[in-house]
Structure 1
Amino acid sequence: MKKNILISVFNMEIGGIERSLINMLESFDYHKYNVDLLIFHHVGEFMNLIPKSVNILPQVGEYSVFRKPVKHCLKEGQYLLAFIRVLAKYIAKIKSKKRNLEEGSGYIQMQLTQKYSSPFLPRIDKEYDVAISYAWPHNIIANKVKAKKKIAWVHTDYSKLEIDNELDLNVWNQFDYIASVSDACSEAFLTAYPSLKEKVTVVENITSPTFIKKMAEEELQLKKENSQFFNLVSVGRLSYVKGFDLAIEALKLLHDKGLTNIKWFIIGYGGYEKELKDLISKNDLQDSFILLGKKTNPYPYIKNCDLYVQPSRYEGKAVTVSEAKILGKPILITNYPTAPSQIENGVEGMICDLSIPGLAKGIEAFYRNQELKNYMVTNIRDRDYSNSYELDKLYKIIS
């Protein structure tokens, strides 16, 4: 008899978590498992990429409010939940001000919204063998779903995440297993939650080389137009965490040194867009540092770049770095705490200092040294990056 699995995610907007979920669902064994997908808000370009074997549950109105503008919640008649959103924002601002948080109160606001709204949210009627909360915060699977086993996923570096750890610990304790995407992520998580050591297991992001290479075949005019330039590509949400402000300043350094034929293309969207555009204008880089916005398919851009760069301040395990390897590209990443788990430094790519000069120096090394590029590309192309066997770890938990 097939086992019934529930997987939850907020939406299917373009992002690393959502992309890794699509890859996992592409590789799932549907002969053994029935998979229900609970998407809190049925929006996002990746909705169309969900495999046909997955049963997408109907949207639950109350679950869709967490990332909508409050005025939209009011229009839909979700008055109580809209009030909770406003209350959580107010309290989160006070908490974050006391702690002098660099990134503000956004994450704590999400935690408080879920905590305060939980008593007023409907339960999921069906009972499951396993329920998986694939995206943080994990309150809904913890409190509103009945399952024999519950798994929560860790995608980021929790030693850097500015949240209320005590509040979160109460939620983590309601799960039987905590799946982390790398050993480095597990170590970082356990610095914040040492009491959860026995629950943590590593299940790496699933990569599907066949799917990624097929998607990368799409024709791309951009490369033809910029063939005379040294083209960098980065993919990620436009946020402080991703370090694109550092990237702009690094490109300015390189241009000031006379390396004006370097262009940097950013694929992504997010709340940091205005700040980045202002910084681009300030440094007169409008023609060289280009925000491409949302792209459902980033793979042709990665395939056609000269160097893939991840300038993040911190990461869990960036999905796009693994995908750049599959597409045979040389890679430069900043020395965020989990960076050594992303690439073999000096073999698959380079880890540079997490700074503006560090990024500039790393890019210049690739720009000036074709042999270095070729050496790393050869190493990458000789390796097999398929890892559907990682799902065996999940199946073992499920069984």
Structure 2
Amino acid sequence: MKKKKILIRIGSLRHGGAEKVLVNFLKSLPPDKYEVDLLLNLYSGLYIQEVPSWINLKYLIKGEMITTNRLQDIPIKAFRVLYEKMFLWFPFLLYRFILKNKKYDVEIAAIHAMYREILSSPQKKSKKIIWVQNDIFNVKGYTQKVIREFFRFDRILVISEKLLNGMYELAENEAEKASVIKIYNPIDRNDTLKKAEAEIQDYPFSRNLPTFVTVGTVYPQKGYDRLLNVHKKLIDEGLSHQLLIIGDGYDFNNIRNQLNELGLQATAKMLGFSSNPYPFLKKADFYVMSSRHEGFPTIIAEALILNKPVTATDISGIRDLLQNGTLGNITANSEEGIYEGMKKFLTDKNRAEKYKKEIAQTELPFVLEKSVAHLQRIIDEV
């Protein structure tokens, strides 16, 4: 049987939800059926080591990701931007010198930000797929005109009902609607459970107080500024609890300064990046998501796998994950909403137990095998 040749493009394999989902997908693909080239703009990230050996890993630039704006980093960042732009402006250079004139059956943008790169491909006969992993309707610069460009792809994969409905509203005919497919991100349940068993060295908190945990790159979209304000408000009201923030990013120092200014050093901790946050998640009492927008927050799926009560702002993907509130609190996407959600867990112990029971009795839809099988069917049939 002739193998289908696939090109997949993504920025890097840093510690993000979309990157982890892609690697989960690659690890589950049959090597006897596909020949896959994975092209990174930047050869960097935690998940590179998890890419299966049979995947052809290619890159434009090799080096660490720069998340600061220090003066000495500006020339390097400028060079990287121009180098990547060169291949976008002159794609024949990419396909000749990096991809060695290889012909592909399918080309996939693994995140929405790579849409121009795939659409600029000189290989007009290849089928094009875009995998939308974020709430593009709330991402700066993604106007309706820009999002309309996605309908130039043969298939548009979206990971939530909200994104599906948004694309349907922009579609101008039934053919465009038919190109949009909702698909659950593949989550490796067994891997999550196994990693959660690791021992924690130097746990930063007392084990006697209710503990909220949140995991994610420290960007403004995550709403950690709102979360700290809510934490402070609840503490001032006498509702004792602890807050653990796991992750790094360019907003890290701003959030840490806010924590210190609010005088929360005893009750809130920022651990920075962890390659395995699951033991902390397992040990915590609740998971809190304060994001302003997301696509499909993979960490919520993993919290459910670990049977953790969740309170989350009403962002894309949350209603799918929490089954419209059956499996956890869905709050208004505001500081007041975050406050109400956390307060419910601190004042009503039965609520958390109710969610735990519901989670334990529910067959979660984002099972790895089912999602990968769905993705394979789409690739095979396109």
Which of the five TM-score ranges fits, normalised by the shorter chain? 0.7 to 0.9
Deviations 1:104-124 (A, max 9, x none): xxxxxxxxx859952275223
Contact 2:212-2:242 at 8 Å conserved across structures: yes
Question: After the TM superposition, which residues 9-48 of structure 1 pair with which residues of structure 2 at under 5 Å, given as runs?
Answer: 9-48=10-49
Question: After the TM superposition, which residues 40-189 of structure 1 pair with which residues of structure 2 at under 5 Å, given as runs?
Answer: 40-57=41-58, 59-61=59-61, 69-72=73-76, 78=79, 84=82, 114=85, 117-119=88-90, 122-123=94-95, 124=99, 125-137=101-113, 138-144=115-121, 146=123, 148-165=126-143, 168-169=146-147, 171-189=149-167
Identity rate of aligned residues, in percent? 27
Report what 1:231 is aligned to.
211
Match of 2:228 among 236, 244, 248: 248
Contact 1:127-1:145 at 8 Å conserved across structures: no
| Closer/same/farther in 2, CA of residues 250 and 224 from structure 1, 3 Å limit | closer
Report what 2:369 is aligned to.
388
Contact 1:156-1:316 at 8 Å conserved across structures: yes
What amino acid is aligned across from residue 182 of structure 1 in structure 2?
A: S
Q: Please, which moves more after superposition, 385-394 or 60-69?
A: 60-69
Local SS of the residue matching 2:244: strand
Match of 2:329 among 350, 365, 374: 350
* Cα offset, 1:12, TM superposition: 1.1
Q: Please, which moves more after superposition, 224-233 or 204-213?
A: 224-233
Local SS of the residue matching 1:38: strand
Instruction: Show structure 1 runs of 5+ residues with no match.
Output: 86-112
| Closer/same/farther in 2, CA of residues 380 and 253 from structure 1, 3 Å limit | same
Deviations 1:321-362 (A, max 9, x none): 111111111111012354322212443111122222322221
What amino acid is aligned across from residue 20 of structure 1 in structure 2?
A: V
- Cα distance in structure 1, aligned partners of 2:217 and 2:77: 24
Report what 1:92 is aligned to.
none
- Cα distance in structure 1, aligned partners of 2:293 and 2:312: 10
Pairwise CA RMSD: 2.9
- Cα distance in structure 2, aligned partners of 1:209 and 1:381: 14
Report what 1:308 is aligned to.
287
Match of 1:341 among 289, 303, 320: 320
What amino acid is aligned across from residue 162 of structure 2 in structure 1?
A: A
* Cα offset, 1:65, TM superposition: 9.9
- Cα distance in structure 2, aligned partners of 1:172 and 1:334: 27
Report what 1:100 is aligned to.
none
TM-score normalized by structure 1? 0.82
| Closer/same/farther in 2, CA of residues 307 and 67 from structure 1, 3 Å limit | closer
Query: Is 1:398 aligned to 2:375, yes or no?
Result: no
Local SS of the residue matching 1:296: coil
| Closer/same/farther in 2, CA of residues 222 and 25 from structure 1, 3 Å limit | farther
Deviations 1:170-228 (A, max 9, x none): 75244211111122222234445657433211121101111111111111135585312
Local SS of the residue matching 2:301: helix
Contact 2:159-2:317 at 8 Å conserved across structures: no
Contact 1:302-1:308 at 8 Å conserved across structures: yes
- Cα distance in structure 2, aligned partners of 1:115 and 1:166: 26
TM-score normalized by structure 2? 0.86
- Cα distance in structure 1, aligned partners of 2:244 and 2:171: 37
| Closer/same/farther in 2, CA of residues 194 and 340 from structure 1, 3 Å limit | farther
- Cα distance in structure 1, aligned partners of 2:11 and 2:272: 21
Instruction: Show structure 2 runs of 5+ residues with no match.
Output: none
Contact 1:324-1:331 at 8 Å conserved across structures: yes
| Closer/same/farther in 2, CA of residues 145 and 222 from structure 1, 3 Å limit | farther
- Cα distance in structure 1, aligned partners of 2:49 and 2:261: 39
Contact 2:159-2:185 at 8 Å conserved across structures: yes
- Cα distance in structure 2, aligned partners of 1:56 and 1:62: 12
